[in-house]
Structure formats: structure tokens, C-alpha cells
Amino acid sequence: MGLVGSGGLGLRREPMLSSRIFIWQHFTRLTPDEVLEATPLFHPVWADADPEDITFADSHTAHGNFRAWAQLTAHTRTGRARVDQELLRWAFSRLA
């Protein structure tokens, strides 16, 4: 049994899959303030990031979507000491 986000609507049409879902959960986008609060706690790569860079990333690619933040995080784990806009622009190009 597990949790399914709003993308699980197709599962509801499949009785064999739908019956295995314990709780249907709808997720909404994070607000800009929630992004600034949650992102540094989400992964160490964001812990020391400049809030302006977090806002830059959110406005250019993540748009409050936590799944998008997870994808972006995977691309920013390069071993650099700190996330900056140069690294973010490179990561954005990998997401397309």
C-alpha cells in the first residue's frame, strides 16, 4: 500500500491497481515561501544555497513542484561547494 499524488488518476481506472491504494492523496504546488523554507531542509546541496538562487531555480524550472525539485537536485550534485546560477543553468539544460 502506498501514497499516490495527483498523477495517479489513471490508477483509479484500473481496479487491480486501484484496490491496492490505501490513501489517495492530492499534492499541491509549494508556495514561494514554502519553497524557501523546505528546499534547504530537503537535501544538503541546498542547505547553504543563496535564497535568491533557490528562487531563481523555482521560477525557471521547479515552479513549486517537489518532483521537479528532486530532479533538479539530482543534476546539481556535482561536488561543487555551492549551488550557483551557473550550475543551475547547466542543470536546467539537462532537464529539457
In the three-class reduction of DSSP (H, G, I as helix; E, B as strand; rest coil), residue 23 is classed as strand
Q: Which domain holds residue 14?
A: 1-29
Same domain, 38 and 58: yes
Same domain, 35 and 67: yes
Q: Which residue has the cell 492523496?
A: 25
Specify the pTM: 0.74
pLDDT by residue for the chain (96 residues), tens digit each? 344 444 555 667 777 777 777 777 778 999 999 999 999 999 999 999 999 999 999 999 999 999 999 999 999 988 888 999 999 999 999 986
List, in order, residues 6 or more apart from 63 with CB less than 8 Å away: 29
Same domain, 46 and 74: yes
Total domains in the chain come to 2
